[in-house]
Structure 1
Amino acid sequence: MVDRNAKAVFHEIYDSTNRKVLVYITAKCSNTADIIDIFQETYIELYSVITKRGENYIENKEAFVMKLARQKVYRYYSLLDRLKAVLPLTYPIRDGEEFDIYGLDIQSFSVEDNIVNEALIEQVNTFLSSKPEVIKKIFYLFYQMELTIPEIATHLSMSESNVKNRLYRTLKELRQLYQ
């Protein structure tokens, strides 16, 4: 049985840090499909620490969670690199075609809340999944996390003009394709 106090402490820490942690993980991931896994692993580890060691073990809650997130990102990609060294990166599916097991589609997210046509949403997501990871991150941070362009530029270590150009160029392509 879990201590009620441990649950309350976890929820308090989660509520005060989840947005910052999600932005950090999004900026550091090399594949947007990995964001949710790493985010969940971070908070699972936090919950484990709280239940095993108690709430007094953590002095600076935000710094502790950010450290966990940093460790999870590092471990996730170091494990992935080790697996890639042992396992093949692709396997054949048809004549001459290969399926990249590490390049799976990004998780669906809405570009605009007022798009109700499911077919159009799927087309937009397919279009975005074909774009480089940095563009996926920019869209995720801008539309899902509602960060400003300067905030995105800071998190991704890019210039504001670079973020704007990538965002607006991709939006222009979307408008042309799916008017």
Structure 2
Amino acid sequence: MKSGEHRNLILQSVSSFEHFFRMNYHLACLVALRYLKDQQIAEDIVQETFMGLWQKRNELTIESNLKQYLLRAVRNRSLNYLERSRQFDQLTDAAKELAVDEEQSVYADEELAVRIARSIEMLPPQCKKIFLLAYQDDLTYNEIAERLNLSKNTIKTQMGIAYKILREKLKSYFLNLFILPFRQLMH
């Protein structure tokens, strides 16, 4: 009987495959443990390999003997597992770094928002009103002038005063202040 025919018999009969499993399971686990260093993961890899063999038994073309094929498949699955776990560890490390950066960024943004709100509260009443219409309601100078029945020049002057006061109060955050949507206000 040729080895290919023998292989086909092992993979076609449930009892033959169970016998093949019992005879090679321990050796396959040792091969997996050589790479993985974790008994449970090694056993899982071996079981997956045996299941794959059984599920694809009609599609497989095995040139060498079945035992060699099994051990090579266990080794390859073990190496693939290690590669995936390394990639996962790298992704996890990157995600942890991003989470720390985001936490710091959120904290800095919240701190800036509190400082801006406090500084806005300290503006003179008319200046504060105009600034909030521009900042919160996102109105242009012309729209604010119409709403308050004031000239556009008065709005510009009051906004200039607001910017000067805020710039002074928020010196350390001044660069971040320009990230806010003030560019639209100049239209």
TM range, smaller chain: 0.3 to 0.5
TM-score normalised by length of structure 2: 0.34
Which protein is richer in helix relative to its size? 2
Q: Which structure is higher in strand share?
A: 1
